[in-house]
């Protein structure tokens, strides 16, 4: 389902998005609003519960009402199949809880997991068009699962990003605003994160889709010509340029003959990481690194990527493996990126995947720096627990002592790390 631009007031506070189609007969409610008050995007705590016979002047008004109700109650909304008149206009429609129906058979592609678990929930409303107005004919308000009003804004079905918000993000991105600062420019408009109908991840996903490789005019041709000259001088130079459906450059991978030769000897364990070029293009730069017999880092391949999703990483890993004649790796070390993790499981079958401790320790000040005792013992206690524990038993003992001493048993980040300690 293509995105649709909506008529909304000229104010950054009104930020809505049409969410992509979920499956063949099930879509998320998409709205085309006329000028509304800024409060339309905020969660209305006073919206009434739906009842049979309620009247709505338009399909858009019905959608907006049920979305508000769902946000207050704490569940996502989907649109089920509807019946049309012979002329093609909608006559009946159903709006239901996102947990409505049954989950399809588990997909074999682990990189495309079902984002919402179907529980057979019966909560829904049926509406019928009569003389130009919509009337509720069936109302079910009971759910068979827990509701989360406090988390409603973060549900995939409630997160929205509309045309004016997209333009703002693109302008900021072109002006070299960092991704962390980009959403912040919209927060001030609505006076707090809790009033934004999207999260930072939605901004990242949008920028990933529109960014592509920001080469100047003719840049793709220049890059192709440069690689051609290098291949003429180095027979073993390998490069692949990935194009989209409109023949625009999307991803690039390259490796020289020395790196290919080094992989045959030092490719048992590799590190894969991402960084951003410090220039106006801000393109994600990906690189494979190994360690030789002198303990020196050696480059084993590099690429420029247009996005950082699972499919892009799968393309890069498969391309890299192909140029290495399919020689499998024994282990790979990355950061905790979920898209990387999914792609590695699909491409590097049997390889041991581990998280980079350096990346984890970099997050400690951000996650725990506000703790009252961070500089008075907590920082040293964490480093001692991690670096000085020589056995699993010793680590577990030190970890539990750390949590109890600094009252961190309920810290979600530390609990998540401990749960993923096998990585």
Q: What is the DSSP string of 119-138?
A: --B--EEEEEEETTEEEEEE
Give the separation between CA 353 and CA 388, rounded to whole angstroms: 23
**What are residue 249's phi and psi, to 5 degrees?**
-65, 125
> Whole-angstrom Cα distance, residue 170 to residue 165?
9
Q: Report how far residue 311's alpha carbon sits from residue 308's, in angstroms, rounded to the nearest whole number.
A: 8
Q: Is the pLDDT of residue 205 over 50?
A: yes
How far apart, in whole angstroms, are the C-alpha atoms of residue 140 and residue 74? 15
CA distances, 317 to each of 108, 320, 347, 350, 352 (Å): 19, 5, 7, 14, 15
pLDDT the model gives residue 298: 94
Summarize the confidence of residues 25-46 as an average pLDDT: 41
pLDDT(253) > 90:
yes
- 142-156, 165-179, 203-217: segment of lowest average pLDDT: 165-179
Confidence of residue 270 (pLDDT cuts 50, 70, 90): very high
Which of 154, 241, 164 minimizes the C-alpha distance to 201?
A: 154
Q: Tell me what percent of the residues of the chain surpass a pLDDT of 70.
A: 65
Confidence of residue 115 (pLDDT cuts 50, 70, 90): low
Q: What is the mean pLDDT of residues 171-194?
A: 50
Domain range summary for the chain, segments of one domain joined by +: 38-210, 219-358, 363-419
| Tokens 């309620």, located at residue | 54
What DSSP element (H or E) covers 163?
Answer: helix 163-174
d(C-alpha 28, C-alpha 79), whole Å: 5
Phi/psi for 59 (5° steps) reads -65, -40
Enter the tokens of residue 363.
């997050």
Measured CA to CA, the distance from residue 86 to residue 246 in angstroms comes to 37
Q: Which pLDDT score is estimated for 360?
A: 92
Mean of per-residue pLDDT scores for the chain: 75
What mean pLDDT comes out for the span 340-349? Answer: 94
Residue 379, pLDDT score: 92
Quick one: pLDDT at residue 40? Answer: 38
| Best CA proximity match to 104, nearest among 116, 87, 92 | 116
193 or 74: which leads in pLDDT: 74
Q: What are phi and psi of 56, to 5 degrees?
A: -135, 135
Residue 239 belongs to what H/E stretch?
strand 238-243
The yes-or-no verdict on residue 68 having pLDDT over 90 is: no
53: left (phi over 0), alpha (psi -120 to 50) or beta: left
pLDDT category at 26 given cuts 50, 70, 90 is very low
CA 60 to chain centre: 28
Structure tokens at 364: 């400690």
Cβ neighbours for 377, distance < 8 A, ≥ 6 positions apart: 406
Contact present, 192 and 54 (Cβ < 8 Å): no
**Residue 170 predicted with pLDDT over 70:** no
- Per-residue model confidence (pLDDT) at position 313: 93
Residue whose structure tokens are 């590190």 = 271
Q: Angle CA(316)–CA(174)–CA(198) in degrees, nearest 5? A: 80
The most distant pair of C-alpha atoms in the chain lies apart, rounded to whole Å, by 82
177: tokens are 């605003």
pLDDT at 287: 93
Residue 159 pLDDT class (50, 70, 90 cuts): low
pLDDT given for residue 16 in this prediction: 29
Higher pLDDT, 331 or 155: 331
SS3 269: strand
**Structure token pair of residue 9:** 């007031």
Are the C-beta atoms of 385 and 399 separated by less than 8 Å?
Answer: yes
The span from the CA of 22 to the CA of 31, in Å, is 16
Average pLDDT over residues 88-117: 68
- Edge-to-edge, what's the strand order for the sheet holding 269-276? 238-243, 249-255, 297-304, 284-291, 269-276, 331-334, 352-355
The tens digit of pLDDT for each residue in 291-339 reads 999 999 999 999 988 878 899 999 999 999 998 988 889 999 999 989 9
Neighbours of 84 (CB within 10 A): 11
Residue 397, pLDDT above cutoff 90: yes
Residue 60 has a CB neighbour count (10 Å cut-off) of: 18
Which pLDDT band, with edges at 50, 70 and 90, does 172 fall under?
A: low
Cα angle 224, 217, 288 (rounded to 5 degrees) comes to: 45
> In this structure, are residues 123 and 97 in contact, taking their beta carbons and an 8 Å threshold?
yes
- First CA to last CA across the chain, in angstroms? 38
Residue 270 near residue 289, CB atoms below 8 Å: yes
């Amino acid at each position: 389902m293509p995105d649709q631009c909506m008529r909304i007031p000229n104010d950054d506070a009104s930020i809505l998005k049409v969410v992509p189609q979920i499956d063949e007969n099930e879509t998320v409610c998409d709205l085309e609003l006329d000028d509304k008050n800024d409060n339309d995007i905020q969660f209305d705590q006073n919206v009434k519960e739906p009842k049979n016979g309620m009247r709505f002047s338009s399909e858009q008004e019905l959608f907006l009402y049920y979305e508000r109700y769902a946000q207050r109650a704490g569940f996502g909304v989907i649109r089920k199949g509807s019946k049309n008149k012979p002329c093609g206009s909608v006559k009946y429609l159903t709006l239901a809880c996102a947990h409505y129906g049954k989950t399809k058979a588990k997909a074999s592609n682990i990189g495309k997991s079902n984002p919402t678990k179907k529980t057979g929930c019966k909560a829904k409303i049926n509406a019928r068009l009569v003389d130009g107005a919509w009337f509720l004919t069936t109302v079910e308000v009971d759910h068979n699962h827990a509701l989360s009003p406090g988390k409603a804004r973060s549900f995939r079905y409630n997160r929205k990003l509309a045309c004016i918000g997209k333009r703002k993000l693109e302008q900021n991105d072109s002006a070299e605003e960092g991704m962390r600062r980009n959403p912040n420019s919209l927060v001030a408009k609505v006076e707090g994160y809790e009033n934004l109908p999207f999260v930072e991840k939605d901004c990242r996903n949008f920028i990933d889709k529109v960014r592509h490789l920001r080469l100047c005019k003719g840049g793709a041709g220049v890059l192709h010509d440069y690689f051609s000259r290098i291949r003429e001088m180095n027979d073993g130079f390998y490069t692949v340029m990935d194009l989209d459906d409109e023949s625009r450059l999307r991803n690039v991978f390259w490796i020289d003959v020395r790196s290919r030769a080094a992989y045959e000897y030092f490719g048992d364990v590799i590190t894969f990481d991402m960084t951003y070029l410090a220039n106006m293009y801000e393109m994600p730069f990906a690189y494979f690194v190994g360690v030789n017999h002198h303990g020196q880092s050696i480059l084993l391949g590099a690429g420029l990527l247009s996005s950082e999703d699972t499919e892009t990483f799968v393309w890069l890993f498969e391309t890299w493996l192909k140029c290495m004649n399919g020689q499998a790796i024994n282990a790979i070390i990355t950061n905790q990126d979920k898209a990387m993790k999914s792609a590695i499981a699909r491409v590097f079958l049997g390889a041991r995947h581990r998280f980079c401790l350096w990346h984890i320790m970099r997050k400690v000040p951000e996650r725990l720096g506000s703790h009252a005792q961070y500089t008075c013992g907590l920082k040293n206690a964490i480093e001692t627990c991690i670096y000085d524990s020589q056995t699993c038993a010793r680590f577990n003992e030190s970890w539990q002592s750390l949590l109890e001493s600094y009252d961190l048993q309920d810290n979600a980040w530390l609990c998540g790390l401990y749960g993923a300690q096998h990585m």
